[in-house]
Amino acid sequence: MKKIILLLAFIISANVFSQIHNPVKWSASVVAVSDTKYDLVIQATIGEGWHLYSQSVPENGPVPTAFSFGKNPNYELIGKPSEESGHTVNDPIFNMKIKFFENKAVFKQRINVLSKKAFKISGEVEFMVCDDANCLPPSYVDLNFQIPETAMAGAVKAKEIEKTADLVAVAGKETAIDSTVKEEIPADSILKEEIKTVDVEKTTVAQKEKSSDKSMLAIFIIAFFSGFAALLTPCVFPMIPMTVSFFTKQSKNRAVGIKNAIIYGLSIVIIYVLLGSLVSAIFGADALNALSTNVWFNIIFFVLLVVFAVSFLGAFEIMLPNSWANKVDSKADKGGLIGIFFMALALAIVSFSCTGPIVGTLLVQAAAGGNQIGPIVGMLGFSLALAIPFTLFAAFPGWLNSLPKSGGWLNTVKVVLGFLELALAFKFLSNADLVLQLHLLEREVFLAIWIAIFGVLAFYLFGKIQLPHDSPLTHISVGRLSLGLLSLSFTIYMIPGLWGAPLNLISAFPPAQHYSESPYGVGSSQAGTVTTATAIPEGAHLMAPHNIVAFTDYDLGMAYAKKVNKPVMLDFTGYACVNCRKMEQQVWPKEQILAILNNDVVLISLYVDDKRPLPAGEEIESKLRPGKKLKYVGQKWSEFQTIKYKANAQPFYVLTDHEGENLIDPVGYTPDVEEYHTWLKTGLANFSKK
């Protein structure tokens, strides 16, 4: 009986780690919107526990879902495919916000039909899915759409012409399950479908609002405090008593004064919220989603913020034309509600040299978040902070006596903001560098720049450096000294980052530790408690951050293993594999594991999502997708894993001898260190018996 139980356990364990996952089914349909406009609707049905990634994923993150459609003179695409709200989370492994879908995802591509005849559209979707233990390599599924004759378009509104092709993604292999064309739909069914659609839209909106609440709150808070910072600049602060004086003289009694002050404050809010609305309207949701990863947007933002920073440091002032201010002033003299509104507009124009860079930075940050209402929320927070003091002091002029006098401290605030803008600018330049993989602004360079910026800021606050518009400094105030100490402390905190410290407080800003010219830190050639005593063999590299010798080519790795007579550990992994990174960061660094990986096995890491094109002449036809050629290196390793080991999930670890025979059953994601160590030791023991 015990033998039977052990046999069953062995069979079950083998099946667990050697199986083909096919968690996503795709269907394609066509829905008429008008006589010439149609929606190509692509629906993904996702297996329980799995999630499919969004089309908008930051660079160096998971592989996003991507659609391509064949060229055809009978139609043209309108914009990009839309998608549902999904779920957005802060991923601690990739250190970025990532959006994904569970259970179901619907994508729609609108097209404009240019032909009256019926025709077909071919397309393809590339996608990646993960669960709590595995990530599958990027897969490709063909999509086919049947567009009806446009003469039918009027009738199509009373029916849905649907061509369904459920395609099961099996490591890039599709199998057509069903193809049907639905004819006329009864009117009552259409009504039910419309009601159902409305309910779904309401649910989608509710989910979207819930998922974005935190990010919108963060934008609002940052903008609110930025508004207070703008209030303390030399362009805005002196205008408080001037504004109070105006309302005191123009108001017949206190009640009227309070009413006018409230209208003035609301006018400030309206002006800046309109500005945020204008930015959202011009860019639109699709463009805003692209900001965080678009190279040119990031470069433009970098240049823009540098200009703002240099302006704040005193090199020049950014001002709107004087004629604008004169025209607005003439309108403000008319009095009444219109006059008060133009007074608020005059404040915005006159103070633009100080508020403009702050407003511009806020709009850039809010827009880069990818949410269309981000700029509106940002301007609401900023304008509230700006309007509240003006309103309160205008309503209660006696409070003016408690305000500090204008002086050199106002310019100090402006300069500090300039340094902060300059530091933030390099974050956008870093984004562009990461996207292009130029390795010009790697982690050490980025940290060196920030150390220099905040170090110089500390010297400035201590009075060791003076800028053009600074007043003579006879003494240092307690507030300035405190801010200087804070800047100096932050500078010192960042210095160990050059030697490999993680710097968790600012982990969202500098490039990741692996994006570095010295992954182990400046001045260090290795990391970890155990290191290899041999030189790096030809075709191998040191795998950061644990200094493990690894091959990325199967043949080279196997040849080296034979030469040194060591077993091979095949590491089927992916650049976008979350649990692969967890294993490398949480299991591999353990002393007992690292000793084996460094000294007892030859590690061959095969990246199934490697997008490097296969060398010319090495293209091969896919065995899983007959008639299609493999385009990328990653596809080659993905097919190799699927065909040889009957598995397509990562991470996937195989201990093998020089003939490619398994020394022990392969394993997947194994976060338990002792379990993983036992697996390695058992495989090594089996190799030594041969």
Q: Which tens digit of pLDDT belongs to each residue from 620-635? A: 788 877 778 888 888 8
- Of 108, 125, 141, nearest to 30 by C-alpha is 108
Give the lowest-confidence range in 191-200, 494-503, 668-677: 191-200
- Exposure string of 142-154, with b = 16+ CB inside 10 Å and e = fewer, is bbbbbbbebeebe
Residue 637 and residue 547: Cα distance in Å, rounded? Answer: 24
When divided into structural domains, the chain yields a total of 4
For residues 40 and 112, state if they share a domain: yes
Short-list 500, 517, 633, CA closest to 573: 633
* Residue 3 buriedness (CB in 10 A; 0-12 / 13-18 / 19+): exposed
Residue 450 scores a pLDDT above 80: yes
Q: Does a structural domain hold residue 9? A: no
In 3-state terms, what secondary structure has residue 664?
coil
H/E run at residue 605: strand 602-607
pLDDT tens-digit map of 377-415: 878 888 888 888 877 877 776 766 666 665 666 788 888
The H or E element containing residue 121 is strand 119-127
500 within domain boundaries? yes
Residue 650 within any structural domain of the chain: yes
Query: What local confidence, expressed as pLDDT, does residue 172 receive?
Result: 38
CATH number at residue 678: 3.40.30.10
How confident is the prediction for the chain on average, in pLDDT? Answer: 75
Work out the average pLDDT over 181-197: 37
Rounded-to-integer distance, Cα 433 and Cα 431, Å: 5
Place of tokens 């692209």: 290
pLDDT(568) > 80: yes
Give a yes or no: residue 646 inside a domain.
yes
Whether residues 547 and 628 share a domain: the answer is yes
- DSSP class of residue 398 equals G
Are 632 and 612 in contact by the 8 Å Cβ rule? The answer is yes
- Looking up tokens 């409070």 gives 399
- Confidence band (pLDDT; 50, 70, 90) for 86? confident
Minimum mean pLDDT among 102-116, 304-318, 559-573, 591-605: which range?
A: 304-318
pLDDT for the residue numbered 558: 94
Q: Which of 38-52, 569-583, 640-654 has the lowest mean pLDDT?
A: 569-583
Q: Are residues 329 and 278 in the same domain?
A: yes
Inter-residue contact 613 to 632 (CB < 8 Å): yes
Same domain, 514 and 549: no
Q: Could you tell me if residue 210 is inside a domain?
A: no
Q: Do residues 138 and 634 touch, judged by C-beta distance below 8 A?
A: yes
Where residue 492 falls among pLDDT bands split at 50, 70, 90? very high
Do residues 444 and 498 make contact, with C-beta atoms less than 8 angstroms apart?
yes
- The pair phi, psi for residue 529, each rounded to 5°, is -90, -20
Task: Using the predicted structure, report yes or no on whether residue 234 has a pLDDT greater than 70.
Answer: no
- Cα angle 263, 265, 269 (rounded to 5 degrees) comes to 110
Given pLDDT bands bounded at 50, 70 and 90, which one contains residue 661? very high
**Distance separating alpha carbons of residues 590 and 530, to the nearest angstrom:** 10
**Residue 408: what pLDDT?**
66
Does the pLDDT value for residue 246 go beyond 70? no
pLDDT value for 457: 94
Residue carrying structure tokens 């598995």: 647
Would you say the C-alpha torsion 363, 369, 372, 377 has a positive or negative sign? Answer: negative
pLDDT at 135 over 70: yes
Instruction: Report the pLDDT value the prediction gives residue 577, as an integer from 0 to 100.
Output: 78
Rounded to 5 degrees, what angle do the CA atoms 296, 299, 301 make? 110
3-state secondary structure of 483: helix
For position 276, what pLDDT does the model report? 73
Confidence of residue 228 (pLDDT cuts 50, 70, 90): confident
Torsion sign across C-alpha atoms 112, 115, 119, 120: negative
Co-location of 488 and 557 in the same domain: no
Residue 534, pLDDT > 60, answer no
Write down which residue in 89, 117, 147 finishes a domain: 147
In a domain, 36, yes or no: yes
Q: Does one domain contain both 376 and 298?
A: yes
416 with 458, same domain: the answer is yes
Residue 659 and residue 560 in one domain: yes
pTM of the model: 0.46
Statement: residue 585 has pLDDT above 60: yes
- Which of residues 403, 421, 437 is at a domain's end? 403
What is the predicted pLDDT for the residue at 245? 67
Distance between first and last Cα of the chain = 31
Instruction: Please tell me whether residues 283 and 398 are part of one structural domain.
Output: yes
| Domain-located, residue 165 | no
Q: pLDDT higher for 196 or 439? A: 439
Q: What is the mean pLDDT of residues 649-667?
A: 92
Q: How high is the pLDDT of residue 554? A: 92
Residue 428 and residue 661: Cα distance in Å, rounded?
49
Residue 674 has pLDDT above 70, yes or no: yes
With a pLDDT cut of 70, the percent of the chain lying above it is: 69
Residue 614: per-residue pLDDT: 85
CATH code, domain carrying 91: 2.60.40.1250
Do the Cβ atoms of 246 and 346 come closer than 8 Å? Answer: no
Residue 657 has pLDDT above 90, yes or no: yes
> Band of the pLDDT at 300, cuts 50, 70, 90?
confident
593/471 same-domain check: no
> Is the pLDDT assigned to residue 491 strictly greater than 90?
yes
> Which residue type does 306 have?
V
Are 567 and 488 found together in one domain? no
**Host domain of residue 38:** 24-147
| Percent of the chain residues past pLDDT 90, beyond the cut | 19
pLDDT over 50 (residue 167): no
pLDDT at residue 664, as a whole number: 93
pLDDT at 289 over 50: no
Does residue 55 register a pLDDT over 60? yes
Residue at a domain's end among 366, 382, 403: 403
* 16 located within any domain: no
388 shares a domain with 273 = yes
CA distance 65 to 576: 13
**Of 206-220, 362-376, 491-505, the least confident:** 206-220
